C-alpha cells in the first residue's frame, strides 16, 4: 500500500491550493482526482477577489494569475458594483479570469512542487483508525495517509462517508449553464423575467456561445441534457436558436448548506465539500482557496509533530464562521435577483444604501474578503486580521512583508529596537526580522490603527500577536500557534 502523510480527495481549486501549501513545507502530500486531465470543462468562477490575490501574492505566485486575466473592479452586491480602488491594499481590485485558467495555473504550481496526482480515479471510501486513514480508490488501489482531506466538491463523498451533517436550505431556483453552438442569431445579453435571469454571450473563441438560463422547475435529480436546455430556452425566448453540440452543460441551484463540522478526527473538509451556496457575488472559489491556506500550515505542523493535533480544531473554529457569513449574503442576493417591481424597489434601495461611503466600504471589504477577522481574543485591531503588505526598511534594504511569507513559514516582525526581541526557543520555526516601517497603518473598512512595535504573522498571513513595546503574551502566542519551545 502506498503511503503519504496527507491525501487530498479532489484536485479542484481548493485541493490544488492545499497541496501547494503542504508541498511548500515539504509534507508528503498526494491528490486523487476523478478527472483525467485538469482541464475544467465549462465556466464556473469568473475570477479572483482582492484577498485571494493577496493570498497568492503571499506565496509569490500572484503575477502568474494577474498576467493572464483582466484587472477590474469586480466586487459587487446584488448587481451594485463596489469599488475598492481606495482600499489600503496593493491589490485594490479584482481579477477577471475564468476558473479553467485559475485551475491550470494552480496545477502548474503544484506540478513544480512535485506533488503526485492520482488522476482519472476517485476515492470510493475510507476507514480511519487511531494512527491513520486507509483510502480506497476506484482502480482498486489503496493509499494510507495520516490525514485525508475532502476537497471533493459539493457532493463530497468524503463528507457523506464521514457522516458529517450538511444542514441548510433546499434550492428555490435552478439554472442551466452551457457552452454550445447555435444556428440562429439570438437575443444577446441579459434578460430578466418572472422566472429569473438569463443570458447569452459569445465565448472568447468567437464561435461558441455561453448560455445561462433559469429553468421552470426546481428539483431535477438527473444530469441535464441538451433537450433540457432546448426546453428551457424555448420557455424563455420562444425558440432554442437551433442549439446543438454542447461542449459543457451543467446545472447549478441556490442550494445553501454548510458542513456541521469541518473535521472528524483524521478527516477534514475544505472548499465546496464544506459549504455550497449560490454563485452570486463570486465567493465559492475564494472561500475554498482560503480554507486551504488556513488549513495547510496547521496540518503540516501536526504531521511534522511540531504542534499537537488540537491545532486542527482551530481550522473549524476559524473557517466555519467565515462561510457561515457567506451563506446568508448569497441568499440575500438571490432574493434580490427577482424581477418583480417590489424586489426591484428593494434592489434600488440597497443600491442607494451601498452608494453611501460607510456601507460601501463595509460590504466591499466583506465581498472582497479583506475584512476577515479570526476571533483570537481582545486586543489590537490587527489581531486575527490580515497583515498588510507593508514596504519595510531592513538592514538589507527594502522588503515587502508578503515576500517574507513566500515559503509559508511564520514571521515575527520586530519594528521596535533592533535585537529587542528574543525567541531563541522557537528560532528553528519562526523567522525573526528586524525592520522599520515609516508609513501609516490602515486596515480595510476600519481605517487607521495605532502602529504596533512587533507583529507575529502566521503562514496564512493573519496576525497572531501584536506587540506594544513589551513581549507580554508572545511566548503564549508562539506556543499556541507554532508549538512548545525547544529546550535549550
Ligand X SMILES: Cc1cc2nc3c(=O)[nH]c(=O)nc-3n(C[C@H](O)[C@H](O)[C@H](O)COP(=O)(O)OP(=O)(O)OC[C@H]3O[C@@H](n4cnc5c(N)ncnc54)[C@H](O)[C@@H]3O)c2cc1C
Least distance from C-beta 303 to ligand X, angstroms? 21
Q: Please, are residues 413 and 435 in contact by the beta-carbon 8 Å criterion?
A: yes
Q: Tell whether residue 134 is a contact of ligand X (CB under 6 A).
A: no
Q: How far is CA 356 from CA 80, 133, 360, in A?
A: 12, 52, 6
Please say which residue, 268 or 466, places its beta carbon nearer to ligand X. Answer: 268
Q: Tell whether residue 196 is a contact of ligand X (CB under 6 A).
A: no
Cell representation of residue 377: 481574543
Q: Please, are residues 247 and 179 in contact by the beta-carbon 8 Å criterion?
A: yes
Least distance from C-beta 40 to ligand X, angstroms? 8
Contacting range for ligand X; rule: CB under 6 A; set: 40-48, 386-394, 404-412, 451-459: 40-48
H-helix segments, 310-340: 313-336
User: What does 339-391 look like in DSSP terms, one character per residue?
Assistant: -SHHHHHHHHHHHHHHTSHHHHHHHHHHHTTTT-B----SS-TTBTBBPP--E
Contacting range for ligand X; rule: CB under 6 A; set: 6-14, 53-61, 81-89, 440-448: 6-14
Please say which residue, 33 or 371, places its beta carbon nearer to ligand X. Answer: 33
Q: Tell whether residue 322 is a contact of ligand X (CB under 6 A).
A: no
Least distance from C-beta 364 to ligand X, angstroms? 16
- Rg over CA atoms, the chain: 23
* SS3 category, 96: strand
Task: Give the count of beta carbons closer than 10 Å to the beta carbon of residue 393.
Answer: 14
Q: Please, are residues 297 and 408 in contact by the beta-carbon 8 Å criterion?
A: yes
> Residue from 4, 5, 7, 14 that binds ligand X (CB under 6 A)?
14
Exposure string for 442-475, b = 16+ CB within 10 A, e = fewer: ebbbbeebeebbbbbbbbbbbbbbbbeeeeebbe
Binding mask 242-261 for ligand X (x = CB under 6 A): ----------x---------
Contacting range for ligand X; rule: CB under 6 A; set: 79-87, 284-292, 299-307, 312-320: 284-292
Please say which residue, 212 or 399, places its beta carbon nearer to ligand X. Answer: 212
Give kind and range of the element (H or E) at residue 6: strand 2-9
Contacting range for ligand X; rule: CB under 6 A; set: 7-15, 163-171, 366-374, 426-434: 7-15
Count of residues engaged in binding ligand X, rule: CB under 6 A? 32
Contacting range for ligand X; rule: CB under 6 A; set: 150-158, 228-236, 343-351, 471-479: 150-158
> Residue from 285, 372, 456, 477 that binds ligand X (CB under 6 A)?
285
Q: Tell whether residue 271 is a contact of ligand X (CB under 6 A).
A: yes
**Phi-psi label, residue 194: left if phi above 0, alpha if psi -120 to 50, beta otherwise:** alpha
Please say which residue, 298 or 429, places its beta carbon nearer to ligand X. Answer: 298
Q: Tell whether residue 333 is a contact of ligand X (CB under 6 A).
A: no
DSSP state of 126: E
Which residues here bind ligand X, judged by CB under 6 A?
9-15, 32-35, 44-46, 99, 122-123, 151-153, 157, 177, 252, 271-272, 279, 282-286, 288
Amino acid at each position: 500500500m502506498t503511503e503519504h502523510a496527507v491525501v487530498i480527495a479532489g484536485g479542484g481549486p481548493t485541493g490544488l491550493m492545499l497541496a501547494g501549501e503542504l508541498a511548500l513545507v515539504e509534507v508528503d502530500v498526494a491528490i486523487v482526482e476523478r478527472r483525467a486531465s485538469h482541464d475544467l470543462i465549462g465556466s464556473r468562477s469568473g475570477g479572483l477577489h482582492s484577498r485571494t490575490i493577496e493570498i497568492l501574492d503571499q506565496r509569490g505566485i500572484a503575477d502568474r494569475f494577474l498576467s493572464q486575466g483582466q484587472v477590474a473592479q469586480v466586487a459587487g452586491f446584488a448587481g451594485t458594483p463596489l469599488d475598492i480602488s481606495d482600499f489600503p491594499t496593493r491589490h485594490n481590485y479584482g481579477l477577471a479570469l475564468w476558473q479553467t485558467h485559475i485551475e491550470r495555473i494552480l496545477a502548474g504550481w503544484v506540478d513544480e512542487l512535485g506533488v503526485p496526482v492520482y488522476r482519472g480515479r476517485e476515492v470510493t471510501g475510507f476507514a480511519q483508525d487511531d494512527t491513520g486513514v486507509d483510502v480506497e480508490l476506484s482502480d482498486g488501489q489503496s493509499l494510507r495517509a495520516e490525514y485525508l482531506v475532502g476537497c471533493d466538491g459539493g457532493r463530497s463523498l468524503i463528507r457523506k462517508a464521514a457522516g458529517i451533517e450538511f444542514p441548510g436550505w433546499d434550492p428555490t431556483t435552478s439554472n442551466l449553464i452551457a457552452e454550445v453552438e447555435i444556428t440562429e442569431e439570438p437575443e444577446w445579453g441579459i434578460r430578466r423575467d418572472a422566472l429569473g435571469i438569463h443570458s447569452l454571450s459569445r465565448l472568447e473563441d468567437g464561435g461558441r456561445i455561453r448560455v445561462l438560463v433559469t429553468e421552470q422547475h426546481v428539483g431535477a435529480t438527473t444530469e441535464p441534457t441538451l433537450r433540457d436546455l432546448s426546453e428551457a430556452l424555448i420557455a424563455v425566448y420562444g425558440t432554442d436558436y437551433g442549439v446543438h453540440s454542447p461542449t459543457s452543460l451543467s446545472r447549478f441551484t441556490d442550494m445553501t448548506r454548510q458542513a456541521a463540522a469541518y473535521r472528524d478526527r483524521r478527516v477534514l473538509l475544505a472548499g465546496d465539500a464544506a459549504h455550497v451556496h449560490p454563485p452570486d457575488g463570486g465567493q465559492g472559489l475564494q472561500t475554498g482557496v482560503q480554507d486551504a491556506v488556513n488549513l495547510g500550515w496547521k496540518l503540516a505542523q501536526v504531521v511534522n509533530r511540531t504542534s499537537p493535533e488540537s491545532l486542527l480544531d482551530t481550522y473549524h473554529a476559524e473557517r466555519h464562521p467565515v462561510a457561515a457569513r457567506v451563506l446568508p449574503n448569497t441568499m440575500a442576493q438571490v432574493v434580490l435577483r427577482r424581477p418583480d417591481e417590489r424586489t426591484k424597489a428593494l434592489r434600488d434601495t440597497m443600491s442607494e444604501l451601498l452608494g453611501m461611503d460607510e456601507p460601501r466600504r463595509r460590504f466591499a471589504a466583506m465581498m472582497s474578503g479583506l475584512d476577515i477577522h479570526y476571533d483570537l481574543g481582545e486586543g489590537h485591531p490587527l489581531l486575527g486580521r490580515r497583515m498588510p503588505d507593508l514596504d519595510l526598511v531592513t538592514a538589507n534594504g527594502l522588503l515587502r512583508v508578503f515576500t517574507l511569507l513566500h515559503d509559508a513559514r511564520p514571521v515575527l516582525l520586530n519594528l521596535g529596537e533592533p535585537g529587542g526581541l528574543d525567541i531563541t526557543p522557537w528560532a528553528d520555526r519562526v523567522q525573526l526580522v528586524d525592520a522599520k516601517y515609516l508609513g501609516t497603518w490602515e486596515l480595510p473598512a476600519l481605517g487607521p490603527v495605532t502602529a504596533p512595535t512587533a507583529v507575529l504573522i502566521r503562514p496564512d498571513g493573519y496576525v497572531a500577536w501584536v506587540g506594544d513595546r513589551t513581549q507580554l503574551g508572545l511566548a503564549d502566542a508562539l506556543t499556541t500557534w507554532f508549538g512548545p519551545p525547544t529546550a535549550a
